[in-house]
Amino acid sequence: MDRPGGRSLSLGAVTGDDRRGDGLTRDDLFGAVDGAQALRLLQDGNRRFATGHPLGLPADTAATRRALAERGQFPFAVIVGCSDSRVPPEIVFDLGLGQLFVVRTAGNVADAFVLGSVEFAVTQLGARLVVVLGHHLCGAVAGAIEGGDHGPNLRAIVAEIQPSLDAARLTDDVVTNCEDANIRHTLAKLKGSDVLADLAATGAVALIGAKYDVVTGEVDFWV
């Protein structure tokens, strides 16, 4: 990968365990992986995971931990995902320490805290791809469909899903269409951030949706 000024920089230097004493500075690492490259890394990692050939973490992560502590983190992508225990992004994308900035809530819903976290990741850490990752068999969506009163905090989550549910009730497959609409709803909220919208308009940051199949392990990227 070529950097401004002609310096060559390997993906391993910014996305893997090759964060050593190589003379790289914050300016070298900040935003070094663009949105298209980040997407390919996620696609490749998910392919490894889904086909049963993950690289996983190396046996010794001491050097990586030290480098991340000393130099700081420069994740190449942000994953706004569901808290479901079956959908851990680092495992689903076969990635390791310092590579992803992950924000998880039940039902992958977004509030001010989520928006602020994503804005922090792109403006302060240099992430160039934001992915809203939903999944099928989402418990939060199922709960919204079933209804019932489980207290004010869960009601807040259901309220975020409700617009998607209202639209999905008009279709033949309420569950699937609600899950999909909920991903698009969260993506629209992210795109409504002035900070993220300005960066997206210049091509500095890409924002996409994606859906994970908890049975096959495959992620469908909506690009």
- The pair of three-digit structure tokens given for residue 128, joined into one six-digit string: 């160039």
Q: Is 0.75 topped by the overall pTM? A: yes
Rounded Cα gap, residues 74 and 121, in angstroms: 9
The reported pLDDT for the residue numbered 6 is 40
Rounded Cα gap, residues 207 and 20, in angstroms: 30
Domain-located, residue 60: yes
List the 77-82 sheet strands across, edge first.
100-105, 77-82, 129-135, 206-212, 219-222
| 31-88 confidence digits (pLDDT tens) | 789 999 999 999 999 999 999 999 988 777 888 898 889 888 999 999 999 999 999 9
Rounded Cα gap, residues 219 and 207, in angstroms: 16
- The pair of three-digit structure tokens given for residue 172, joined into one six-digit string: 């033949």
Domain-located, residue 36: yes
Domain-located, residue 30: yes
Q: What is the CATH number of the domain that holds 20?
A: 3.40.1050.10
Domain containing 79 equals 11-222
Integer CA distances (angstroms), 191 to 16, 35, 61, 200, 219, in order: 29, 16, 36, 8, 21
Calculate what percentage of the chain has a pLDDT beyond 70.
88
The reported pLDDT for the residue numbered 185 is 97
Number of domains in the chain: 1
- Cα 220 to its chain centre, rounded Å, is 13
Domain-located, residue 187: yes
- The pair of three-digit structure tokens given for residue 163, joined into one six-digit string: 């617009």
Cβ(107)–Cβ(193) below 8 Å: no
